[in-house]
Amino acid sequence: MNTFKDSLVYKFFIWLNTQVGSLFSNSCIVKGFLKEKNTTTEQKESIVIKVINWLIKLLQTIFKKFKLDVILEGSIFTKPSIGVFLVLIGAPFLPTMAVLALVLYSAFSLILKAAVEDDFELVHFKTNLWVLAFAVVVGVSAAASLAVGEAIKIALLSIAFILFYFVWINTVKTKKQFTFYISVFVLAGALSAIYGIYQYFFGDIYSQAWLDEDMFEEIKMRVYSTFTNPNVFGEYLLLVIPFSTMLVLDAKDWLKRIFWIGISGILILALILTFSRGCWLGLIFSFFVMAILFDKRLIWFGILGLIAAPFILPQSILQRFLSIGNMKDTSTSYRVYIWLGTIAMLKDYFLCGIGLGTTTFNTIYPLYSYSEVVAPHSHSLYLQLFVEYGLTGFIVFTGIIYNFFKETIIHYTKKKDFMTIASIAAMAGFLLQSATDYTWYNYRVLLIFWIVIAIGISTTKLEENTNQEIIERK
């Protein structure tokens, strides 16, 4: 090993890493992105926050007048933490409406907590107003839809899941709480993954509907676990796996580390068995991001792994991976035609969008479709955001993502904690997959997306011994 480190090849790569890293970190764009601006005071003085604080004070006054604060003191109904726990456990397994009930219970508990605690104070982040603005955009888009009845139902569900972001950031405030909930989040994902693996070996082989049978005869099963669709299941796992990986590194002893290694292996195996090529690419990108943020030297192990992959991977997986971009695959050509049709729609609807709902999309899209390809959505999150919410919605969404990465990366440069790295990597992998699929089509995945946004943002203000969890620079 010392001989290798003394070699010219090793020294060249170290020098190259240093030079590239220096050029990148000293660039004007990066310095501008990492420039921190304290907007907490501005947010507190905003009209929206003032109105919310006034409503909280009004609630507190009403509760005191009728002695409700005394009646509810210590009640489980004033503990949103219970609801957050149930949401994390239930999201992979329960029907959407049951998950919605848990989300509403959590929100109701937070409201009651605000009403009975005199010292209750909202947690402020730069991203908050962007998230509120997006919820408003969803409501306006529903009102402008052709099928208003359907659109309003979709909007109410989506807004409830979006606003769970606020439940999380105002509930999970300490390092101890955070570590517990992340563990629950990962273990719930592992249980779902175990069921998916069981499904692969013992389930009914009928998911060939998601494959081109002529190209992939060797693949007899794509696991979907509790999500009804392998791509959707893969998208859920994409958001979980980075956290399980970081729990391995965060473990304080080898027993815990081995446990989380096993959990991570289960999650990764389940994602592989979805045979979702977009999710595979998303996972590779997530690991790439984690390697850069944790230790850049790990990238070389990744490169070696990619070189060795053709010699060790099963033929079915290798064939599936190498088919990426192959227009002979009906799945690929199907998506390309849908994207072309959607882009044609945007020429007429890019400013205001067409509104929410499958009915609205199916009414307008056929007028622009290529090769008479029908679809319930555009198979791209970004195209779907543009086509449903118009330019305003797309800008607001971009603002959320920009502020998410800005806040988490700035925090990473200061603290370099594992869960911030996991949040950045999870979102990066998910956003890459979102280029080739409408990743919000499943509402439970939509909820998990907003939870990960909240997780990442909340890592920047965790209380209680946050400085104990620092990655040693190597």
Confidence bin at 308 (pLDDT 50/70/90) = confident
- Whether residue 419 sits in one domain with residue 288: yes
- Whether residue 353 sits in one domain with residue 251: yes
Q: Does residue 429 belong to any structural domain of this protein?
A: yes
State how far the alpha carbon of 227 is from the alpha carbons of 179, 268, 326, in Å. Answer: 26, 17, 27
What is the pLDDT averaged over residues 342-364?
91
- Whether residue 105 sits in one domain with residue 155: no
Q: Does residue 133 belong to any structural domain of this protein?
A: no
- Whether residue 238 sits in one domain with residue 174: yes
Task: Choose among 74, 80, 75: nearest CA to 105.
Answer: 80
Query: What backbone torsions phi and psi does residue 211 show, to the nearest 5 degrees?
Result: -130, 150
pLDDT in tens, 62-116: 999 888 888 888 899 999 999 999 999 999 999 999 999 999 999 999 999 999 9
Confidence bin at 318 (pLDDT 50/70/90) = low
Q: Does residue 54 belong to any structural domain of this protein?
A: no
- Whether residue 369 sits in one domain with residue 459: yes
- Whether residue 226 sits in one domain with residue 104: no
Q: Does residue 14 belong to any structural domain of this protein?
A: no
**Cβ atoms of 264 and 241 closer than 8 Å:** yes
Q: What is the count of structural domains for the chain? A: 2
Helix (H) and strand (E) counts in the chain: 21, 0
- Whether residue 160 sits in one domain with residue 117: no
**What is the rounded CA–CA span in Å between residue 85 and residue 22?**
43
**What is the rounded CA–CA span in Å between residue 342 and residue 457?**
33
- Whether residue 403 sits in one domain with residue 289: yes
pLDDT in tens, 234-272: 999 999 999 999 999 999 899 999 999 999 999 999 999
Q: Does residue 217 belong to any structural domain of this protein?
A: yes
Q: Does residue 34 belong to any structural domain of this protein?
A: no
The per-residue pLDDT for 305 is: 74
Q: Does residue 134 belong to any structural domain of this protein?
A: no
**Which residue segment(s) compose the domain that 323 sits in?**
148-468
State how far the alpha carbon of 379 is from the alpha carbons of 240, 356, 435, in Å. Answer: 22, 15, 8
The per-residue pLDDT for 238 is: 97
- Whether residue 401 sits in one domain with residue 279: yes
The per-residue pLDDT for 299 is: 74
